[in-house]
Chains A and B, each alone.
Chain A
């Protein structure tokens, strides 16, 4: 007695299209469930990588990590599309699996379309945000037009210190963000006398040429 199994050809074009819509879905369409799921979840890896890097305090590496994560996503995307197309071309007769269902494909496409974009917004709100400096108030350490990548997680584990450059929301207008250097802590006395900045009656001397070498934190 013949076993009850449905067979179907695998169309390379459909495999490529599914991989374009959701990374790894083309492999699932071709019966490579594990590889497909690995590719699918790997395409979301940029989020946890960025969050982990931000929490580890690697502020100076943040830009490289963000760009690296995005490039990784792009490479993964191209690889998944090409590989699923080649895989579908190799398969002559394919025995349909339980998971070869159109509604599962649709579900993965919806997740792939919505989850990373929401995650990116969440990262922007709570972890990392890019700014462009419009004014000369921090010149020459920070010039107008400079781009700053802000790590919002730093001060969850440590207190701000004098000398650090921070970005904060202007209290009188919550739409504005200011970038300034901390010169004193709560309880300190700050005074400007004869164009000299005094903190607790002692002149504060931060060489201008060292300003840009300091860490930028929020």
Chain B
């Protein structure tokens, strides 16, 4: 059984050599794979740069302001609306 599997594998390797592949494909594939981990990595300076950017600061300010004002208006509504 094991000899049978080894035979199939060796045959596959042999036939694979006849498949035409573009020049330098291995290097291109490997360089792509090498880049991939960087995509999901959490980069603290980048996160800090995004959080300290003006649009995010404005969004946070508006969010906090609306949270405070919403709280006041909600309490007023609950107490004084019919």
- Tell me, yes or no, whether A35 is within 8 Å of chain B by CB: no
Rounded to whole angstroms, the CA-CA distance of A141 and B80 in the bound complex is 21
- Tell me, yes or no, whether A112 is within 8 Å of chain B by CB: yes
Q: State which residues 50-106 of A face B: CB under 8 Å.
A: 50, 66-67, 70, 73-74, 77, 81
Rounded to whole angstroms, the CA-CA distance of A23 and B65 in the bound complex is 11
Rounded to whole angstroms, the CA-CA distance of A23 and B72 in the bound complex is 11
- Contact among A17, A23, A116, A128 for B75, CB-based, below 8 A: A116
Cβ–Cβ contact B60 & A113, under 8 A: no
Rounded to whole angstroms, the CA-CA distance of A13 and B65 in the bound complex is 12
Q: Can you name 28 A-B pairs with beta carbons within 8 Å?
A: A13-B57, A13-B61, A16-B61, A16-B64, A17-B60, A17-B61, A20-B61, A20-B64, A20-B68, A21-B67, A21-B68, A23-B68, A46-B75, A70-B72, A70-B75, A73-B72, A74-B72, A77-B72, A81-B68, A116-B71, A120-B75, A120-B78, A120-B79, A121-B78, A123-B78, A132-B82, A147-B82, A149-B80
A166 nearest CB across to chain B (Å): 17
Cβ–Cβ contact B79 & A20, under 8 A: no
- Tell me, yes or no, whether B31 is within 8 Å of chain A by CB: no
CB-CB contacts of A110-125 with B at 8 A, as 1s and 0s? 0011001100110110
Cβ–Cβ contact B72 & A21, under 8 A: no
- Contact among B57, B74, B79 for A128, CB-based, below 8 A: B79
Interface SS of chain A: helix, strand, loop or mixed? helix
Q: How many residues of B contact A (CB 8 A)?
A: 17
- Tell me, yes or no, whether A41 is within 8 Å of chain B by CB: no
CB-CB contacts of A154-198 with B at 8 A, as 1s and 0s? 000000000000000000000000000000000000000000000
Cβ–Cβ contact A130 & B72, under 8 A: no
Give the residues in chain A near B65, CB-CB below 8 Å: 20
- Tell me, yes or no, whether B10 is within 8 Å of chain A by CB: no
